[in-house]
Chains A and B, each alone.
Chain A
Amino acid sequence: MQFMLESIGILFQPVSLMLVLMGTIVGIIFGAIPGLTATTGVSLLLPLTFGLNPELGMALLLGVYVGGVSGGFISATLLGIPGTPASIATCFDAYPLCKKGQAVKALGTGITASFFGTIVSILIAVLVSPLIADMALKLGPWEYFSLCVCALTLVATLAKGDMFKGLSSAFLGISFSLVGLSPIDGGPRFNFGSIQLSGGFDILAMILGIFAVKQIIKDFADGDQVPVDVSLEVSGLGITLKEITANLWNIVRSFFIGLWIGFLPGMGSGLSNLVAYAQAKQSSRHPEDFGKGSLEGIWASEVANNASVGGAIIPMVTLGIPGDSVTAILLGGLMIHGIQPGPLLFSNNPVTVYFIFAAAALSAVITLILQFGGMRAFPLILKIPQRFLYSALIVMSFVGAFASNNSTFNIWIMLFFTVIAVLMDLGGLSISPMILGFILGPMLEINLRRGLTYSSGSFTPFLTRPVSAALLAVAVISALYSLFGHRLQRRRKLKDEGRDGV
């Protein structure tokens, strides 16, 4: 309680409030503009936090995160183009509703759903995180190793299509993490005689290369900005209490889908909005209305994608494992500020942890107020010419990479990973497992080596300790399902078709 009050005290200082506000505004803009995401926004603003203390840095970045995830529904509603992957399903019903002349109703529903999803998920994170952190402290290196293996396998096998491609991406990330000094003994590895590579690849340069520079280049290569011609007549909030109560069960179900998917490493709001939408349609009394402007669809998508925010923060603060790509960058941000993520974060830096929750909650409130109050400004955000915006983003990316450790070598690292990201895109390899592999690589190795040292070189404890065995079993099951699951589904489909035919 004392730490919670202390963190709230820091949050309500004028500087913190200003940073949360700034971050939220930037986040909403990044979320609203198609092609830019909360991930890009957090990557670009991370260098701005170097001169700030960890709490103030987190205040800015969390504002961007919450604002960015929420902001995606703006272009989804007004243009039919999702601002971020978190709002893909929102497009299906918000845009048709907008075309029917009910844009304000669609926007009002989206704003309310976003707020509910974020704030309740943060409250649950506050309650649940200390328990998970306590439990995490009782785990040994065997369990941590298996947890990392489980996290990587889930991301690699469930995130996108082919299992081998997902695992390749994960092993690629692990390989990149090998560059630098070996943990435990501190010997050089894969430096090729370069002093600059002794510290390994800088995570910020990597993130900027993959999420910012690559995105800018790809968007430019894909084609010019679509001209926007949107006008919005705003009157009222667009939402009624009756509509909220009519969707209560849908809201609760979508919330827990979003919270759980956000909790699972590497997934996040990009997946949760689609799963929640599909569930809502399946359970609805009027599934035929979906895709034509159904409020149920908008509630499902926006509650779930924002519930993933709190869900993703839980493993980030309790286990040092990111729940999604943005929390991966936030973890990088904590490390840059000298704070070691992991189960000891709660005991070593409790004020920072509670500050993270408080800042995210405050950002959700600010997002609600800004979005309801600023609805008239939404079409203006979408009209910002790409040439000015992207040119400025290029400068910020290069400056950010340099500023990370005052080294021009970092700029080359950033460009190297831009090339890697383009090649991976070309080869159909997903980026998320690679990022996770890079972040978890050192943790995997340290715990593997420690576990083997304690057990005198034997792998048996990894398989006989109950928690470790359970986590490895989940990893194996998810891999097997990915390999053979589509065959089972095809057999089931043929069986259903055969039955219908008879």
Chain B
Amino acid sequence: MKKSKIAGLILSVLGICIVAFSGSIIDPKLENDVGPRLFPYIAGIGLIICGVGVFLRVGEEKEKAYLSKEGWLRLLRMSVLMLAYALGLLSLGYLMATPIMLFISIKIMGKSVISPVKTAAISLGMTFLVYIVFERVLHVLLPPGIVI
């Protein structure tokens, strides 16, 4: 029940924000056109009504936990890694950031222990495979980075 209340509240607040910000959209007042504000108002009001509906929901089944405590820690670990990888791609570029990310990712996923040498080799191999396929074969650019 609590999750629904929180979800309903967030949705309603989001709807209110959309309605509030819609007032600042510039309306060029074209002939016979209702303008660019109508649809955002509809979306915002729709969110408010549905948010209230979700908030007032009754007779819900017993909620089960989304994740266990250990599951949340794993989620957090992976989220930090993703964030770090995004920052690494931006600053160091694909060729430097990717093998580091892969090394850490392979290590933290899975219970069995793999030797660092094997992990490093697989990380480098995967990095260059994707590089060759994207940049050389398909001519799709990869993040260059700004430091290197």
> Which residues of A are in contact with B by a Cβ distance under 8 Å?
47-48, 50-52, 162-165, 167-168, 171-172, 174-175, 178, 182, 184-185, 187-190, 213, 216-218, 220-225, 385-388, 390-392, 394-396, 398-399, 402-403, 406, 408, 411-412, 415, 418, 422, 425-429, 441, 444-445, 448-449, 452-453, 456-457
- On whether the beta carbons of B141 and A390 are closer than 8 Å, the reply is no
| Interchain CA distance A188-B24 in the complex, whole Å | 11
| Interchain CA distance A171-B26 in the complex, whole Å | 22
| Given A175-B43, A398-B85, residue A387 in contact with residue B140 (CB < 8 A) | no
- On whether the beta carbons of B40 and A189 are closer than 8 Å, the reply is yes
State how many angstroms separate the Cβ of A1 from the closest Cβ of chain B.
34
- On whether the beta carbons of B106 and A220 are closer than 8 Å, the reply is no
Chain A binding surface SS class: helix
24 intermolecular pairs with C-beta atoms under 8 Å apart: A48-B140, A165-B7, A168-B50, A175-B14, A182-B25, A185-B30, A187-B27, A188-B26, A190-B21, A213-B82, A217-B78, A217-B82, A218-B75, A386-B109, A391-B105, A391-B126, A394-B105, A398-B86, A398-B89, A399-B142, A402-B89, A403-B140, A427-B4, A457-B34
**Across chains A and B, which 8 residue pairs bring their CB atoms closest together, nearest first?**
A164-B53, A427-B7, A182-B36, A387-B109, A387-B110, A221-B75, A168-B50, A391-B105
- On whether the beta carbons of A449 and B110 are closer than 8 Å, the reply is no
Nearest-neighbor residue (CB-CB) of B61 within chain A: A161
- On whether the beta carbons of A402 and B142 are closer than 8 Å, the reply is yes
| Interchain CA distance A172-B18 in the complex, whole Å | 11
State how many angstroms separate the Cβ of B127 from the closest Cβ of chain A.
8
| Interchain CA distance A60-B9 in the complex, whole Å | 43
- On whether the beta carbons of B90 and A408 are closer than 8 Å, the reply is yes
Residues of A within 8 Å of B32, CB to CB, are 453, 456-457
User: Which of B26, B46, B90, B111 counts the most chain A CB atoms within 10 A?
Assistant: B46
State how many angstroms separate the Cβ of A140 from the closest Cβ of chain B.
16
State how many angstroms separate the Cβ of B118 from the closest Cβ of chain A.
11
Residues of A within 8 Å of B39, CB to CB, are 174, 178, 444-445, 448-449
| Given A187-B36, A223-B71, A395-B126, residue A50 in contact with residue B138 (CB < 8 A) | yes
Contact of B101 among A388, A394, A453 (CB under 8 A): A394
- On whether the beta carbons of A178 and B40 are closer than 8 Å, the reply is yes
Within 8 A of A (CB), among B79-114: 79, 82-83, 85-86, 89-90, 94, 98, 101-102, 105-106, 109-111
Residues of A within 8 Å of B21, CB to CB, are 190
Chain B contact residue count (CB 8 A cutoff): 67
Chain B binding surface SS class: helix
> Which residues of B are in contact with A by a Cβ distance under 8 Å?
3-4, 6-7, 10-11, 14-15, 18, 21, 25-28, 30, 32-36, 38-40, 43-44, 46-47, 50-51, 53-54, 57, 66-67, 71-72, 74-75, 78-79, 82-83, 85-86, 89-90, 94, 98, 101-102, 105-106, 109-111, 122, 126-127, 130, 133-134, 138-143
| Interchain CA distance A182-B86 in the complex, whole Å | 30
Further pairs besides A190-B21, A222-B67, A402-B142: 11, Cβ < 8 Å: A51-B140, A168-B11, A171-B46, A171-B50, A178-B39, A184-B36, A187-B25, A399-B142, A411-B143, A444-B39, A449-B39
| Given A178-B40, A185-B36, A394-B101, residue A408 in contact with residue B138 (CB < 8 A) | no
- On whether the beta carbons of A51 and B139 are closer than 8 Å, the reply is yes
Contact of B54 among A165, A188, A390, A449 (CB under 8 A): A165
Residues of B within 8 Å of A406, CB to CB, are 141
Contact of A189 among B25, B86, B111, B127 (CB under 8 A): B25
| Interchain CA distance A48-B134 in the complex, whole Å | 7
Residues of A within 8 Å of B36, CB to CB, are 182, 184-185, 187, 189
Residues of B within 8 Å of A50, CB to CB, are 138, 140
Residues of B within 8 Å of A224, CB to CB, are 110-111
| Interchain CA distance A167-B42 in the complex, whole Å | 13
| Interchain CA distance A221-B78 in the complex, whole Å | 8
Residues of A within 8 Å of B90, CB to CB, are 408, 411
| Interchain CA distance A394-B140 in the complex, whole Å | 17
- On whether the beta carbons of A452 and B34 are closer than 8 Å, the reply is yes
- On whether the beta carbons of A386 and B110 are closer than 8 Å, the reply is yes
| Given A164-B57, A408-B143, residue A171 in contact with residue B130 (CB < 8 A) | no
State how many angstroms separate the Cβ of A307 from the closest Cβ of chain B.
32
Residues of A within 8 Å of B53, CB to CB, are 163-164, 167-168
- On whether the beta carbons of B140 and A391 are closer than 8 Å, the reply is no
Residues of A within 8 Å of B126, CB to CB, are 388, 391-392, 395
Residues of A within 8 Å of B71, CB to CB, are 221-223
- On whether the beta carbons of B85 and A185 are closer than 8 Å, the reply is no
Residues of B within 8 Å of A172, CB to CB, are 11, 14, 47
Residues of B within 8 Å of A48, CB to CB, are 133-134, 138, 140
| Interchain CA distance A418-B78 in the complex, whole Å | 12
- On whether the beta carbons of A164 and B54 are closer than 8 Å, the reply is yes
| Given A221-B78, A395-B98, residue A403 in contact with residue B142 (CB < 8 A) | yes
State how many angstroms separate the Cβ of A43 from the closest Cβ of chain B.
16
Nearest-neighbor residue (CB-CB) of B88 within chain A: A398
Residues of B within 8 Å of A396, CB to CB, are 130
| Interchain CA distance A390-B107 in the complex, whole Å | 12
Contact of A220 among B74, B86, B134 (CB under 8 A): B74
Nearest-neighbor residue (CB-CB) of A437 within chain B: B43
| Interchain CA distance A395-B51 in the complex, whole Å | 36
